[in-house]
Structure 1
């Protein structure tokens, strides 16, 4: 239903915008498994109709709106892709942390100060950049996680449990308040890229366990940190990581794919 200012249907209508027939839209969501309402001027709570899709929903994309609550999406147990980027969310339903099929959670550009506990065994990509996070949940159950972006938050440390995410390949924790990398990251045999630009990481905060243990690490970016190259060169494992970086550069030169800006950057400020 929904007459004047009534039910959720009013959310679909706005001046100069021809809302598709209500039932049509919901039945299309059910048929395709894709609930997409990107940049539709939604404000406040996510439309209640979303809840009715239930098990059928595989993708939910409500990015680019002004939502402050997404409770209507809390009961979509089969989601594989959850995109809520660029809204006004201060919290996420705990149910999101227990989605067993979820592969991607993109919630960057909100006002989140915390995340629900994560028990998402299939999650491959987690993007929570540009929020107000002061801490991260435990990552023990995120065995499939490959990409983690927590940049532009107010994190003072990374959880030791990240060391359990053995599939991790890229971590971007730039623009936070970090002073060190946990030794446990040294368990990450597939980690290739670790970005820590614009934090408070000094030489003492660069873990030899990470440099030595992360045998595929070729990019450790430390621009905008209180650390000098000569200090780093004295840390056990730095030379080995540099050798990996140079081997990668050589490979790119040989293949003719080198982008000088990236390839020749050793990740440290000159001063």
Structure 2
């Protein structure tokens, strides 16, 4: 009995230590390299401080040592808001890495072997100045969330076949068109394309799980017909475009719950286009040409849902 209790205590202690190791966050690469195989989280992000005040003792990174590749069990790496212009190729050796945050750096390109990060689930590239992605990018088979906002990227097939991708944020990317290869992102549930230069969309019929799409502040002059292929769509934002009508064909989006058409100044509609949507609970059309009487009728219909 005593031996059994002792074994239980040792197992409990072991699991507690292991949990503690995984829960510990290192904030210095030098300290992390003292026990490289016991490091699971490394945060080298640059911030002024919790109170927002400037702290001269905190200096943003301009270079990341290739020694980072020795942290074989690293799962989370945060490098936000530094002044990195490139990443060491050894970062691609981090086969256990699940989260990589690079937002707010000055990167012009990613390592060519970025696709070797097979365990990567979340990649934040917000405001990095990237104009292209490596051809190996579509080998990130586990990737679930990708943020590309404020990167003027020119894309072709770099994301093709990333079927695990659930959330894709591509606002402010100066996009004029979406490649046909995006129709292979069959696991996509949320897609943000606000503040680009889009006038059309490609076929989207394979995106059968897409529930949310943001298309505000683009250059659509007509309702994109390919949106009608998104049978699971629940939220649609087409505010700040150049739309003049809501087509009757919108009734194909039977799961739609919320729509926004604000600031389409020439937009008119007929109430039938909206009343064909049985699950609609939110309708926004501020600063449009829809007459007030019709708006009141639409709001009354939506308010009854």
2:183 aligned residue? 163
Structure 2: distance between partners of 1:52 and 1:64: 23
TM-score between both structures, scaled by the size of structure 2: 0.68
Structure 1: distance between partners of 2:101 and 2:207: 27
Which structure is higher in RCO with an 8 Å CA cutoff and minimum separation 6?
Answer: 1
Query: Larger C-alpha radius of gyration, 1 or 2?
Result: 2
1:225 counterpart = 2:241: yes
Change (3 A) 1:63 1:21: closer
1:249 Cα deviation after fit: 4.9
2:98 aligned residue? 80
Structure 2: distance between partners of 1:20 and 1:147: 28
TM-score between both structures, scaled by the size of structure 1: 0.76
1:8 aligned residue? none
1:80-229 aligned at under 5 Å gives the runs 80-117=98-135, 118-135=138-155, 137-183=157-203, 185-203=204-222, 206-207=224-225, 209-211=226-228, 213-228=229-244
Q: Deviations over 1:131-156 (max 9, x none)?
A: 22233543332011100001111111
Change (3 A) 1:128 1:136: farther
Change (3 A) 1:242 1:57: same
Structure 1: tracts of 5 or more residues without a match:
1-18, 251-262
Which residue of the other structure, out of 236, 241, 249, is the alignment partner of 2:253? Answer: 241
Structure 2: distance between partners of 1:29 and 1:107: 26
Change (3 A) 1:23 1:110: closer
1:51 Cα deviation after fit: 2.3
SS in 2 for 1:64: coil
Structure 1: distance between partners of 2:96 and 2:232: 34
The list of structure 1 runs, each at least 4 consecutive aligned residues, that deviate by more than 6 angstroms after superposition, is: 19-22
Change (3 A) 1:223 1:83: same
Contact 1:223/1:269 (<8 A) preserved: no
Contact 1:115/1:136 (<8 A) preserved: no
Structure 2: distance between partners of 1:30 and 1:248: 52
Contact 2:216/2:241 (<8 A) preserved: yes
Q: Deviations over 1:40-63 (max 9, x none)?
A: 53333213331222x322221101
2:31 aligned residue? 24
Q: Deviations over 1:177-201 (max 9, x none)?
A: 1111111x12111101111111112
Q: Identify which range, 36-45 or 215-224, moves more after superposition.
A: 36-45
Contact 1:125/1:146 (<8 A) preserved: yes
Structure 2: tracts of 5 or more residues without a match:
1-25, 47-57, 258-276, 290-305
Structure 1: distance between partners of 2:62 and 2:215: 34
Change (3 A) 1:98 1:51: closer
Which residue of the other structure, out of 82, 85, 109, is the alignment partner of 1:68? Answer: 85
Structure 2: distance between partners of 1:140 and 1:25: 36
